[in-house]
């Protein structure tokens, strides 16, 4: 299983999936981690301070905290202890059954979980799926219409109501799990 993305989603999904499957982690840059004592309350306080500063037209200095860095929640700490949080860097391209890494080596994967943020970018899938004029893949819910075995989760109204939010993606993910389970039978 290949997990793509160096943010919180990538690290947390890698941590969970690596407990039940062989995984590799692809990232464009080396992941950066927040100190172990930084939790949701700290991030909320930093985000609130940033919002207030921007609203008042002031400069915001987040000190040592970059809100994009990985939060060391318990599952990520546990993955660190197991030695799982190791990136293989980025890959050059997809093949029919895997990827070609930057060093030219090839690796096969049964599945890829793409965790790369809030903007869709589908050009990496152009060899396996039809992209429309906007660069999107036609879907029915989260299932790609013309590409068996491909689901897209977390793209807002495109793949499920509010699926770009934590609450909304839960609904989309549950529906997608049911669809994938049926597909694999």
Q: pLDDT per position in the chain (185 positions), as tens?
A: 999 998 888 999 999 999 999 999 999 999 989 888 877 677 667 767 777 887 888 877 665 556 568 888 899 999 999 999 999 999 999 998 999 999 999 999 999 998 876 566 787 788 888 888 888 888 888 899 999 999 988 776 677 766 666 566 788 888 899 999 999 98
CA 118/CA 8 separation, integer angstroms: 12
> What token pair was written down for 119?
């903007």
Q: In what order do the strands lie in the sheet with 2-4?
A: 24-26, 2-4, 112-114
Q: Which of 4, 57, 68 is nearest to 33 (CA)?
A: 68
* Residue 44 to residues 40, 50, 51, Cα–Cα distance (Å): 6, 10, 10
What was the pLDDT predicted at 50?
72
Q: What is the β-pairing status of strands 98-101 and 91-95?
A: antiparallel
Residue 144: φ, ψ to 5°:
-65, 130
Contacts 24+ apart (CB under 8 A), 124-128: 124/93, 124/94, 125/94, 125/150, 127/93, 127/94, 128/94, 128/96
What was the pLDDT predicted at 65?
55
Burial (Cβ within 10 Å: 0-12, 13-18, ≥19) of residue 58? exposed
């Amino acid at each position: 299983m290949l997990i793509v993305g160096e943010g919180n989603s990538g690290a947390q999904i890698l941590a969970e999936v690596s407990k039940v499957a062989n995984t590799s982690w692809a990232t464009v840059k080396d992941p950066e981690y927040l100190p172990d004592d930084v939790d949701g309350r700290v991030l909320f306080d930093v985000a609130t301070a940033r919002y207030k500063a921007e609203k008042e037209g002031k400069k915001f200095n987040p000190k040592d905290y970059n809100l994009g860095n990985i939060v060391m929640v318990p599952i990520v700490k546990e993955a660190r202890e197991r030695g799982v949080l190791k990136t293989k860097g980025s890959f050059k391209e997809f093949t029919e059954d895997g990827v070609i890494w930057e060093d030219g080596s090839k690796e096969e994967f049964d599945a890829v979980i793409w965790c790369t943020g809030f903007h869709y970018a589908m050009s990496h899938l152009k060899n396996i799926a039809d992209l429309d004029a906007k660069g999107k893949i036609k879907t029915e819910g989260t299932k790609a219409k013309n590409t068996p075995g491909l689901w897209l989760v977390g793209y807002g109204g495109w793949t499920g109501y509010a699926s770009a939010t934590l609450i909304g993606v839960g609904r989309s993910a549950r529906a997608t799990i049911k669809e994938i389970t049926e597909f694999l039978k």
